[in-house]
Amino acid sequence: MQEQAIENVVIIGSGPAGLTAAIYLARSDLNPLVITGLNPGGQLINTDLIENFPGFSSIKGTDLMMKMMAHAKELGTRFIYEAAESIDVTSVIPQGNNGKFTITIPRADPVCAQAMIIATGARHRHLNIPGESEFTNRGVSWCATCDGPMYKSKKVAVIGGGNSAVMEALFLSSFASEVTLIHRRDTLRADNVMQQKLFNKDNVRCIWNSEPSVIAGKTTVDTLYIKNRLTSDETILKVDGVFIAVGTTPTSEIVKELVVLDDEKYILATDTATSCEGIFAAGDVVSRSLKQAIYAAGHGALAAKRTEEFLGRR
């Protein structure tokens, strides 16, 4: 019976964090293996245009991720184009090998590894209303930092009432001629300091106790239908863009029994080191992530360095 190979490090996730970690680890001759997930490239492949990633004045999200993946491959990174199903901490490894983790993968043999980097990202929460998916990247966005400058002197709406929504509205107020914040309650959940900054903006207004019901337009968004939750009255708002900021859901299910998570299920990590020795985490799945591609990439580089130290390569 052939002895099972033990990987130095397995990276779960193939967004900016995972691929950057792979590039750094490959350059250190650690021969990393990436389990991509069902959508290689992560959430960024759904971003039509990126204008704030260093080195590219403008690039499609898909193109950026394909370049990063090609770079990792050139350096020797290997890929399994599947989603990891489970991770077990192995107490006894056959033949005395020093592997520690066993990753189960559908339609592939289990993989054993000495160390792991979790870079599974987070999913934007959706409104699940008509027009949301149809107009994604054609007026519907989940990232003001990414897309805000494209709405200079235009009218936009922000959906949400927490810190993320207020931050989006404040950022957009520097570009848009008018920002309308729509919240399902009559008070915001954002920090008081942030609320005051928002209320001091002349080009920002709030619509309370309301939710969007339909996003409409021809080729791009031009109309948002809003329903009052108390009266059921409908308002028609003419806008050029709709920014959805109702939160994100971390993709941390696979390690929920292995590492400490915060109240929102994000991974708690110090310099990318989790509570489980040998498991590191980077990018949007980590608590308090900036949720920007460049931040995730830098976080991936740090995770790679910490993994090298753990494996005794630094």
Q: Write out the catalytic residue numbers.
A: 143, 146-147
Coil, helix or strand for 298? helix
The stretches of 75-162 forming alpha helices (DSSP H) are 144-147
Q: Is the dihedral of CA 264, 265, 267, 270 positive or negative?
A: positive
Contact in structure between 282 and 119 (CB atoms under 8 Å):
yes
Instruction: Determine the Cα–Cα distance for residues 10 and 114; give it in Å rounded to an integer.
Output: 8
Helix runs in the chain, H state only: 16-27, 61-74, 144-147, 163-172, 192-199, 293-310
Cβ–Cβ < 8 Å for 49, 38:
no
Instruction: Tell me the three-class secondary structure of 167-207, residue by residue.
Output: HHHHHHCCCCCEEEEECCCCCCCCCHHHHHHHHCCCCEEEE
Residue 118 CA, distance from chain mean position: 13
What is the three-class DSSP state of 51? coil
Query: CA-based Rg of the chain, rounded to a whole angstrom?
Result: 22
Q: Do the beta carbons of residue 46 and residue 65 sit within 8 Å? A: no
Angular region, 232: left φ>0, alpha ψ -120 to 50, beta rest: left
